[in-house]
Chains A and B, each alone.
Chain A
Amino acid sequence: MSDQSSGWSLLSPLLIVIGWSIVLTNASRYARRSEIRGLCNDVDSLATEISAETKDFWLKKYEECSSSEVRHYIYHTENAIERLDKKLELLQARSQYSIGKSVEIIEKLHDKTTMDAERVKELQEERRVRVALQVDHDVAMCISAVEELFDSVAGEGFFQFAWRKLLTKCDGVGLCKKISDIYKMRLLPHLQRYAENFSRP
């Protein structure tokens, strides 16, 4: 009887701990989701800015641009792409999902936005239009890759999130190694001894 009552008295604090851990895990799931949404929005606006400036430079302003304005465009765009690269890196680290094409997209953006920008006035219209369109296309690819990533994060259920968090905290590989060590060092000798005793006549 007393054993039963002590069991019941243990159960209620245990339920409180479990309840709180569910609430906290869920809160951290929502916080992570809104942090990732924020990063996605940053990527979206940066990428759109790069596309708009590239279009402006290659199709509109190129004729009136002085050499210092061209220089400004090149460094400004390079730095904007670097910021975009950093944001994508952060997004992947925070979400623990990878954006497969991010390296390729960043490389293409660097390449196309500034290649031969110094001689923009000498280039044929077809080449200038092509640059603007290609950058627009790469930016669209970047934004859709980021939205796909957010879709995966948003679709993550509570248990999936909790499991991922547990693995990250415990270091999944380390945990498995620890369990296998315990099995080998502590449990296996006992089992062997038990098997030997059992097989004796």
Chain B
Amino acid sequence: MNDEKVINIAQDFSDMPLGRDDLDGPYNGKKFRESLLKNALHQYQKVVVEMDGTLGYGSSFLDEAFGGLVREDDYTAEQLRCKLVVKHKRNSTVDRVWKYIDEAKKAR
């Protein structure tokens, strides 16, 4: 297994991520999770998601992209805490990501 993968959402995906799935728009949370995040988590020991550079993040995108890992892809919040590093200039965005992961854990 490789060491580390850095995903920059603005560069590797879109600077206007929005919504849960294709009904909401082309750059949605489900697409991000399935096309980039899930593969990276599968192939690398550590995945760093850099979130700066976009126009913003709607809650639905974050919930689907990160909370979906627990709801749909059978990751646990503890596994994600070991493997996933989320970076953003504002702590509130990083906190939101972990909140959605933790809430998805409770809902499961």
Contacts and interface: CB of A to CB of B under 8 A. Distances in A.
B92 interface: yes
Contact of A118 (B16, B25, B92, B99): B25
Nearest to B59: A115
B92 A71 contact: no
A169 B75 CA distance: 50
Q: Which of B18, B58, B93 has the most CB of A within 10 A?
A: B58
A93 B92 CA distance: 17
Contacts, number: 60
A71 B18 contact: yes
B100 to A, nearest CB: 9
B36 interface: no
Given A103-B92, A107-B92, A115 B56 contact: no
Interface residues of B, number: 21
Nearest to A102: B92
Interface string A87-125: 000000000000000010011001111111111000000
A117 B58 contact: yes
A51 B92 CA distance: 19
A112 B90 CA distance: 18
Contacts of A110: 59, 92-93, 96
Which secondary structure dominates chain B's binding surface? loop
Contacts of B18: 71, 74, 118
A89 to B, nearest CB: 9
B20 to A, nearest CB: 7
A106 B56 contact: no
Nearest to A111: B59
B56 A118 contact: no
Interface string B70-108: 000000000000000000001111011001000000000
A115 B18 CA distance: 11
A137 B25 CA distance: 31
B34 interface: no
Interface stretch (A29-37, A78-86, A148-156, A173-181): A78-86
Contacts of A74: 18, 56, 58
Interface string B49-62: 00000011111100
A115 B60 contact: yes
A107 B97 CA distance: 10
11 contacts: A71-B18, A71-B25, A82-B90, A110-B92, A111-B96, A112-B59, A113-B59, A115-B58, A115-B60, A117-B60, A118-B18
Q: 4 shortest A-B CB distances, which residue pairs?
A: A78-B56, A115-B59, A118-B24, A74-B58
